[in-house]
Amino acid sequence: MTADRGNPVVRTPYGAVRGRWEQGVAVFRGIPYAASPFGPRRFRPPVPPQPWDGVRDAGAFGPTAPKPPYSEAFAPYLSDPVVPGDDCLNLNVWTPDPAPGARLPVFVWLHGGALTRGSSSLPVYDGRTFARDGVVFVSVNYRLGVEGYGLFPDAPANPGLRDQLAALRWVHESITAFGGDPGRVTLGGQSAGAVSTGALVAAPQARGLVRRAVLQSGPPETTDRDKVRRMVRRMANRLKVPATAEAFAAVDRARLLRVQADVGRLGSPVLGGPAFGIVVDGDLVPRDPLEALTDGAAPGVELLTGWTRDEYRLWLVPGGLLDRIDRLGAVALAGAMARCRCGGEVPRGYRALHPDAGTAEIVGQMVTDHLLRIPLHRLADGRTEPSYVYEFAWPSHRPRMGACHALELGFVFDSGDEPDARKLAGEGAPQELADAMHGAWVRFVSDGSPGWERWDAGHPVRIFGEGGPRIAHGPRDRELALWATAGTPAEEPAAAPAPTSPELRPVIRRLRRSGVLRRN
């Protein structure tokens, strides 16, 4: 490391970069880890950036990947900055000591956003707090939506995931110059970032690049290839072009985003529907990541995993879906059964465990357990390496949001003073809870133990909630046990049909007879 008029300068394999000293931390923003993924490289795997002469300024965030804005319903809760430009395969580094001999632990962060939105420039992801506490923090931009996860006959699958792998390789090659230790890299993310983390940790091509992993509110999973193809075909029909990478590359980028948003608005984590996702490709993702990880992939990699108590409220409160599901009653429960591929004994069991819960809460917790908590339990149960599990249970001060999806981010990053964090948490989030949660993440990244007992047959879960952190043993075991013998009745479809579908009528009749429903 050298200094340039008081600013830190670090040499990477592709050229030198000049950062900034900010509050005692050296910050380098917008460093390219791969070339621009447009022009002849559209829909193709990433390639290294072109080396540069002189010193490249790294004082500002680099361009964000093309993405549609959040809808009016979600905009009051979620921010998503846009930085224009084509060089969107870039990353940022916060370090307390940009010197090759420092050998500090490294935390590489993959943002969430359903693989269609989000970026590393979101203020709540400010890495200063991790650097302040002795960690070199790296956040990554990667391709999103159809650009990163479209499935075409004339292009390789998973280019967005390949971007993330390229960023990991850049870290392995370059982070020593920023004071980091390439042998002490923790890869982590929230939501889609956690799903990506699970896929990369399981990938043979990432072996040796990751020492530890953090999966916040996202399990190791892949999306059915036919489901992604249907998403691409729907877009192709709207665009009136063939469903090929060549044809999509010729479409105006803004129009492509508008059509993607229009097609994607029909889906949600609770209701299902069309979506982009990571797919098994026989190459980077040779098999289902959860199966691979519970079958011995990623030996020696320690895990920190968890969820928020009321994940589903971010998906259902904006736009009024929570109230609509309560009004739908039996139809909503039947749709949830189809979405989760379970029989009527599961909602009956949830009703017995939570007799005062409304239909929306039953549906939301069922789908959250099916999509998130069950696979994370399987992951922790199926590995011999240490795993640590948490639940974030502090309820937002925003009306009806509860401990919703993404609320924990302001606590993990100790960035609750940021306006973006307050959009979800409201005013007055407890600083002592942020100190506890952020401190646990720093300890895990630094030495592999967040400060509570590792997962075992007793299922210890660290609860971060009102009254301070505590340990609960098996807090979700009764609900998750309902799925052990759950079957799919023959008349139920494998994916959730529309509320008016005649396929649901026999299921609804059975639900009404069984007493699952209560008056809302």
Distance between CA atoms of residues 72 and 321, nearest Å: 14
Nearest to 63 by CA among 6, 186, 147, 2: 147
Q: What does the DSSP 8-state code read for residue 369? A: I
Long-range contacts of 408-412 (CB under 8 A, 24+ apart): 408/190, 408/216, 408/217, 408/308, 408/437, 408/464, 409/124, 409/125, 409/190, 409/216, 410/124, 410/434, 411/437, 411/438, 411/464, 412/190, 412/216, 412/437, 412/438, 412/441
The answer to whether residue 191 is catalytic is: yes
The answer to whether residue 174 is catalytic is: no
Cα dihedral 259, 262, 265, 266 in deg (nearest 10)? -100
Distance between CA atoms of residues 343 and 341, nearest Å: 7
Contacts of 436 (CB under 8 A, 6+ apart): 464, 468, 469
Backbone angles phi, psi at 225, to 5 degrees: -60, -35
Encode burial over 223-236: b for 16+ CB neighbours within 10 A, e otherwise: beeebbbbbbbbbb
Active-site residue, selected from the candidate residues 36, 191, 196, 446: 191
Distance between CA atoms of residues 282 and 284, nearest Å: 7
Contact by Cβ (8 Å): 470, 453: no
Active-site residue, selected from the candidate residues 111, 172, 377, 405: 405
Nearest to 278 by CA among 152, 403, 427, 115: 115
Q: CA-based Rg of the chain, rounded to a whole angstrom? A: 23
Q: Which amino acid is at 267?
A: G
Contacts of 510 (CB under 8 A, 6+ apart): 344
Which run of H or of E encompasses 7? strand 7-12
Distance between CA atoms of residues 375 and 272, nearest Å: 17
Contact by Cβ (8 Å): 470, 327: no
Encode burial over 498-517: b for 16+ CB neighbours within 10 A, e otherwise: eeeeeebeebbebbeeeebb
Nearest to 147 by CA among 220, 3, 253: 253
Q: Which residue has the tokens 């993990």?
A: 412
Quick check: helix, strand or coil at residue 359? helix
The answer to whether residue 311 is catalytic is: yes
Q: Which amino acid is at 271?
A: L
Question: Please, is 437 exposed, middle or buried when counting C-beta atoms within 10 Å of its C-beta (0-12, 13-18, 19+)?
Answer: buried
Give the total residue count for the chain. 520
Active-site residue, selected from the candidate residues 121, 139, 172, 311: 311
Among all residues, which ones are annotated catalytic? 191, 311, 405
